[in-house]
Chain A
């Protein structure tokens, strides 16, 4: 089982460039989400999806777009990168347990630097 796979692991962009961070899971999880991790701030939710065709905003959605055309994939798009988007990005997926709680499985992360 590959679990949650993120690509690329590292990326350097110039201000104003666009790019897509890829996320794929092979566990048939309903839920997928993107977090960013910044020093001293923990992880903050960017966008999430409860199933194919359904997405919603998290705590820090500005500057990011997402779509969920398949159960497996949940790409994160930066339309015009800014230095404030320099961060480590984590994709996570989860299934719904019988209790209604979700346990997240995380990818290894994508480190993005915007110059």
Chain B
């Protein structure tokens, strides 16, 4: 069965600092990979996705993620964090065989200090 690990439950960064959120997955082949963001009291919004091809993918709000097959990782990065980036971030994997069954990590809560 596929699984997703987000090892950092909470992360605090200063506004303007760089950010990296870690995500590791377990899957028999290369899955489809996603990062979602959830602001307080809101639903989840897709930040970016990886299906195939270029391993560095660009998303919305200045985020990017890099797929590293050898490390089974899909870490999310942003070069300069804004206070509005404070939210919970979820990594998810999907089965390339189809269907909408995503497996989510437990999430990383990001706090931004002004």
B-contacting residues of A (Cβ < 8 Å)?
A: 4, 31-33, 35, 40-45, 48, 50, 58, 90, 92-94, 96-97, 99-109
Contact = CB atoms under 8 A, between A and B. Distances in A.
24 contacts: A32-B100, A33-B101, A35-B104, A42-B90, A42-B104, A42-B107, A43-B102, A44-B104, A45-B103, A48-B101, A50-B100, A58-B101, A90-B44, A93-B100, A99-B51, A101-B32, A101-B51, A101-B94, A101-B98, A102-B98, A102-B99, A103-B34, A104-B44, A106-B45
Interface in B15-51: 32, 34, 36, 41-46, 49, 51
A40 B90 CA distance: 11
Nearest to A58: B101
Contacts of A105: 46
Interface of B: 4, 9, 32, 34, 36, 41-46, 49, 51-52, 90, 94, 96-107
